[in-house]
Chain A
Amino acid sequence: MFSYLVRRIASMIPSLLLTSIIVFSFIHLIPGDPARVMLGDQATPEQVEYLRESMGLNRPLYIQYFKWLGGILRGDFGSSIFFHQPVLSVIADRAETSVFIALISIVLIILIGIPIGILSAIRYNSFLDQFFSGVSMFFASIPTFWLGLNLMLLFSVILKIFPSSGFPSILKSGNWENLRYLILPCITLAIPNSALIIRLTRSSMLDVSNADYVKTARAKGLSEMRVNIRHIFRNALVAVTSALGFTFIGLVSKTVVTETVFSLPGIGRLIVESILRRDYPTIQGIILIVAFIYMVINLIVDLSYALLDPRIRYS
Chain B
Amino acid sequence: MGTRSAKLLRMLSVSVLCVLMLFSAAWASEDVLRVAVIDEAPSLDQQVITSDLTTMIAIHVFEGLYTFDSKYNPVPMLVKEEEVKDDGKLIVIRLREGVTFHNGKELTADDVYASLSRWSQFGSRGSVLFNNIEKMEQTGKYEITLHFKQAFAPWKNLLAFMNGGPAIYPKEIAEKADKTPIPETGYIGTGPYKFVERSPSRYIRLVRFDEYAARDEASDGYAGKKEANFKEIQFIPVPDDATRVNGIKAGDYDYSERIPGDLYDSLKDDPDLVVTLQKGGSQGFVFFNSKEGILKENFKLRKAILTAVDMDAVLKAAIGPEALWRKNGSIMPEGTPWFSTAGADAYSLGDAEKAKALAKEAGYNGEKITYMATTSYKVHYDSSLVITEQLKKAGFNIDFQIYDWATLVSKRADATQWDMFFTYHGFVPDPVLFTFMSEVYPGWWATPEKKELAAKFASTLDEKERKAIWDQIQELVYTQVPIMKTGDNFIYDVYAPKLEGVKDTALIWPRFWGVHFKK
Report which A residues bind B (CB closer than 8 A).
Answer: 30-34, 36-45, 47-48, 50-51, 54-55, 82-85, 90, 93-94, 149, 152-153, 156-157, 160-169, 172, 177, 180, 183, 260-263, 265, 269-270, 273, 276-278
Contact = CB atoms under 8 A, between A and B. Distances in A.
A227 B37 CA distance: 57
A155 B229 CA distance: 31
A276 to B, nearest CB: 6
Given A160-B250, A161-B24, 19 more contacts: A38-B43, A40-B51, A44-B127, A50-B179, A51-B180, A84-B184, A152-B246, A157-B246, A160-B251, A165-B238, A166-B202, A166-B252, A168-B202, A260-B239, A261-B240, A265-B201, A265-B202, A276-B376, A276-B404
Contacts of A82: 40, 42
Interface string B241-265: 0110011011110000000000000
A54 B407 contact: no
13 contacts: A32-B407, A36-B406, A40-B50, A42-B124, A84-B181, A93-B200, A153-B246, A157-B249, A161-B20, A162-B23, A165-B247, A263-B236, A263-B240
A42 B435 contact: yes
Nearest to B412: A36
Contacts of A162: 20, 23-24
Contacts of A260: 239-240
Given A41-B441, A45-B440, A93-B199, A276 B405 contact: yes
Contacts of B411: 31
A206 B43 CA distance: 57
Contact of B250 (A84, A156, A278): A156
A299 B249 CA distance: 46
B49 interface: yes
Contacts of B164: 40, 42
B370 to A, nearest CB: 15
Interface in B184-223: 184, 199-202
A310 B237 CA distance: 51
Given A31-B407, A39-B124, A263-B239, A156 B49 contact: no
Contacts of A85: 200
Contacts of A166: 202, 236, 238, 252
Contact of A54 (B24, B178, B184, B404): B178
A36 B25 CA distance: 45
Nearest to A177: B25
Contact of A156 (B50, B252, B407): B252
Interface range, B side: 35 or more
Closest 8 A/B residue pairs (Cβ): A32-B406, A265-B201, A40-B50, A156-B250, A42-B124, A164-B250, A180-B23, A263-B238
A40 B21 CA distance: 46
Contacts of B236: 166, 263
Contacts of A164: 243, 246-247, 250, 252
Considering residues A48, A153, A166, which has the most beta carbons from chain B within 10 angstroms of its beta carbon? Answer: A166
Interface residues of chain B: helix, strand, loop or mixed (majority):
loop
Contacts of A50: 122, 178-179
Contacts of A167: 202
Interface string B167-183: 00000000000111101
B237 A263 contact: yes
Contact of B201 (A39, A94, A180): A94
Given A37-B406, A161-B24, A169-B199, A152 B243 contact: yes
A104 to B, nearest CB: 13
Nearest to A178: B27
A31 B43 contact: no
Interface in B249-299: 249-252
B410 interface: yes
Contacts of B42: 38, 82, 277
B246 A54 contact: no
A257 to B, nearest CB: 9
Contact of A41 (B240, B404, B435): B435
B67 interface: no
B48 interface: yes
Contacts of A273: 40, 201
Contacts of A47: 48, 122, 124, 179
Contacts of A153: 246
Nearest to A38: B42
Contact of B49 (A32, A36, A39, A149): A39
A165 B413 contact: no
A278 B404 CA distance: 11
Interface in B144-177: 164
Interface string B434-451: 010010110000000000
B125 interface: yes
A256 to B, nearest CB: 10
A263 B245 CA distance: 12
B108 interface: no
A153 to B, nearest CB: 7
Contact of B252 (A43, A51, A165): A165
Considering residues B48, B200, B246, which has the most beta carbons from chain A within 10 angstroms of its beta carbon? Answer: B200
A163 B28 CA distance: 10
A81 B409 CA distance: 17
Contact of B179 (A36, A51, A160): A51
B220 to A, nearest CB: 27
B423 interface: yes
A183 B202 contact: no
Contacts of A183: 23
B43 A261 contact: no
Nearest to A257: B240
Given A31-B410, A42-B125, A47-B122, A83 B200 contact: yes
A44 B444 CA distance: 12
A276 B21 CA distance: 40
Contact of A33 (B36, B249, B406): B406
Contact of A278 (B125, B376, B406, B441): B406
Considering residues A34, A39, A270, which has the most beta carbons from chain B within 10 angstroms of its beta carbon? Answer: A39
Contacts of B127: 44
Given A39-B124, A82-B42, A156-B250, A161 B23 contact: yes
A165 B179 contact: no
B181 to A, nearest CB: 7
Interface in B114-140: 122, 124-125, 127
A242 B7 CA distance: 42
B357 to A, nearest CB: 35
A36 B410 contact: yes
Nearest to B200: A83
